[in-house]
Amino acid sequence: MNEKGFMRINELEKRADVPRTTIHFYVRHGLLHPPVKTGRTMAYYDESHLKRLKNIQKIKIEGRVSLSFLKESLAELEEREGEHRDSPESAAREIVTTTKAKDKRRQEIVNAAIKVFSEKGYHGVKIRDITATLGISTGTFYIYFEDKKALFVDVVDAVIRAIIGDAREALKEEENILKRLLIRGRIFYQNYSKYNEILNQLRAEMVGEDQWPHEKIKKAYHALTQPVIRDIEKGIETGLFRNVDPDLTAYTLTGIVEIMCLRTMINAKYNYEQIEPFVFDFITNGMKPDDNRSDIDTRNV
């Protein structure tokens, strides 16, 4: 048979990267629909077989699973892709019908993933660690995320949104530039204790060959520093600050606050309430002698 789209099992093996013994096993147990036969030994497969094999591999990436679990997960996964809409298995699907409900479920997965990634690390986490926390199937997970990397990218975005959102809320009534910088530092510290493992894992991924961690870290710190840059520019315009480079200054301040947050986690010698006045004094006065310093009590901010 030479019709376009059909293939023999040797080609399906190669394209799916699945041995023929496994393909025959899937056909026998109903995980893969039978091929088209034109003779006793002439069987032809098509793109639907290839797609189903790839979906099976996607679900099995987490390890050994039962046939019943695999069938259930396939039904849910392929429902998303528009396949088998009339299948009896679709009655068990968990696909939500409204955008609001979808967003809610997606956010629940992200929130659970933040905790799991923080505890086990990116490479130590399996999809089933996250789904078990929520009581959902692996198939349901793949309705919302293509893979673990796609979820981790959303987790990083959620962490950055949380930090920026908390700062925006805390600063909406504050106009004083110096006070705004202090408040930003406090908000960063409060979130750092919750999300530092996520940021550390993102930085760790930069040593690999993938480019997505580099792009994500660049976007993350761009989002964190842009509001600081605007405050510094206002400070320069009003004469509060000398004419420094706002971009470099914002990254410097962010770096100082971040490393001081780390210092509070090394041991109990310092807490942030002790570190904050030191950082503020160091930024405003540097290492000038005491008689040239300008003292500001951060406790009143």
Mind listing the pLDDT tens digit for each residue in 199-243? 889 888 888 788 888 888 898 899 999 999 999 999 999 999 999
Asked, for residue 4, whether it belongs to a domain, the answer is no
Beta strands in 150-278, from DSSP E residues, in sequence order: none
86 and 117: one domain? no
Mean pLDDT, rounded, for 67-79:
73
162 and 296: one domain? yes
Asked, for residue 189, whether it belongs to a domain, the answer is yes
**Distance from C-alpha of 185 to C-alpha of 141, rounded to nearest angstrom:** 36
Q: Are 205 and 213 in contact (CB under 8 A)?
A: yes
32 and 113: one domain? no
Q: What pLDDT is stored for residue 301 in this prediction? A: 56
In this predicted model, which residue has the larger pLDDT, 215 or 1?
215
What does pTM read for this prediction? 0.62
In this predicted model, which residue has the larger pLDDT, 225 or 56?
225
Number of domains observed in the structure of the chain: 3
Q: State whether the Cα torsion 149-155-156-158 is positive or negative.
A: positive
Q: What pLDDT is stored for residue 211 in this prediction? A: 86
Asked, for residue 3, whether it belongs to a domain, the answer is no
Q: Are 167 and 184 in contact (CB under 8 A)?
A: yes
Q: Are 145 and 107 in contact (CB under 8 A)?
A: no
119 and 158: one domain? no
Asked whether residue 278 carries a pLDDT value surpassing 60, the answer given is yes
CATH number of the structural domain spanning residue 57? 1.10.1660.10
Mean pLDDT, rounded, for 55-63:
74
Q: What pLDDT is stored for residue 116 in this prediction? A: 95
CATH number of the structural domain spanning residue 138? 1.10.10.60
- Structural domain range at position 69: 9-92
Asked, for residue 292, whether it belongs to a domain, the answer is yes
Mean pLDDT, rounded, for 155-163:
92
What mean pLDDT value characterizes the chain? 83
- Cβ of 25: how many Cβ atoms within 10 Å? 14
CATH number of the structural domain spanning residue 286? 1.10.357.10
Q: Are 44 and 6 in contact (CB under 8 A)?
A: yes
